[in-house]
Amino acid sequence: MLTAAELEALRISVIVAGESVAASLPVAVLVAWLLVRGRFAGRTLLDALVHLPLVLPPVVVGYLLLVVFGVRGPLGGWLYATFGVRLAFTTGGAALATAVMSFPLMVRAMRLSLEGVHPGLEEAARTLGAGPVDRFVSVTLPLMAPGILAGAVTAFAAGLGEFGAVITFASNIPGETRTLPLALYTAIQSPDGDSAAARYAGLSLCLGFTGLVAAEFLARRLRARFGP
């Protein structure tokens, strides 16, 4: 079965990916809504900003996070001084780096599904007496649900494998930020780590495959609920 180190890497991977999804989900819903339904001046800029992590080298994202969220950075310094929270070189920091990297994927999926929601349905809700928040919660959100789910699953799967941004911003600390890919990388670096590396790779493969099957299963359930 799995060794203690493997279990720990698996546990940290799941925590990091899970935390990153949980933290970015509400923000991603809001951003997707702004990008599809919003009519404001900076829309194109926001769109570009959201997609930036897709085109930047992950190391650059990690570096920028260090600059901003490091203990001496403007936001990181404030967080540390006010709440005593340190993100750099912690599990939370790994989750933040992962969230930023997988954010475009998440927004993309939600945006696609929101574009498929007929604005006329929100108008219909309006004529039936539903105010802005009410119709968002009772109509828009449930109709976006497949996209939200798809976005969350994709971001979680991608989050399990995030490497560059995590190792730059959160480093490679066993039991703290050493996720599966980082453990695999460490194994490759060590002279006698061949078999360990192969086991980590196999574990990643199984995890990815399970994730895909689960996503497909959930998508089918939702399609059955919403009709063709």
Partner 1 sequence: MSSLEVQLTAVRGPFQLQARFSAPLPGVVALYGPSGAGKSTLVNAIAGLSAAIGSIRVGGLTWLDSARGIDVPAEHRRIGYVFQDARLFPHLDVRGNLAYGERRARAAPQVIERKEILDLLGLDPLLARRVHQLSGGERQRVALGRALLAQPSLLLLDEPLASIDAARREDVLPYLERLRDAFALPMLYVSHQYEEVLRLATHVVLLQDGRTLASDTPARISREPALRALVGQDGVGAVLDVQVGRVEPSGLASVRVGSGEVRLSHPSAAPGDRLRLHVLARDVIIATEPPHSLSVRNVLAGTLAELVDESAEDVLALVAVGDEQLMARITRAAVAELGLRAGMPVWALVKAASLRGHVYSRPAAIREAGAGADTSTPE
Binding residues for partner 1, rule: CB under 8 A, are 118, 120-121, 123-131, 134, 138-139, 142-143, 145, 225-228
Min dist CB 32 to partner 1, Å, is: 18
Look up residue 2 and give its DSSP letter. Answer: -
Amino acid (1-letter code) at residue 201:
A
CA–CA distance, 222 with 146 (Å, rounded to integer): 6
Residue closer to partner 1 by CB (options 26, 120) is 120
Of residues 129 and 191, the one with the C-beta less far from partner 1: 129
CB closer to partner 1 out of 26 and 129: 129
- Specify burial of residue 159 (Cβ count, 10 A radius: 0-12, 13-18, 19+): buried
Which of residues 124 and 205 has its CB atom nearest to partner 1 in the complex?
A: 124
- The answer to whether the CB of 197 falls within 8 A of the CB of 187 is yes
Record the tokens describing residue 7, joined without a space. 């279990």
Output the six-digit token pair for 147.
């996209």
- Determine which helix (DSSP H) or strand (DSSP E) holds 55, and give its type and residue range: helix 43-55
Considering Cα of 101, then 105, then 107, then 110, what sign does the dihedral take?
Answer: negative
Q: Are 143 and 121 in contact (CB under 8 A)?
A: yes
Q: How far is the CB of 214 from partner 1 (least distance, A)?
A: 22
What span, in angstroms and rounded, lies between the C-alpha atoms of 47 and 145? Answer: 21
Minimum Å distance from CB 109 to partner 1?
Answer: 18
CB of 58 to partner 1, least distance (A): 37
| Closest to partner 1 by CB, 130 or 201 | 130
Which of residues 46 and 143 has its CB atom nearest to partner 1 in the complex?
143
Nearest Cα to 153, choosing from 192, 207, 116?
207
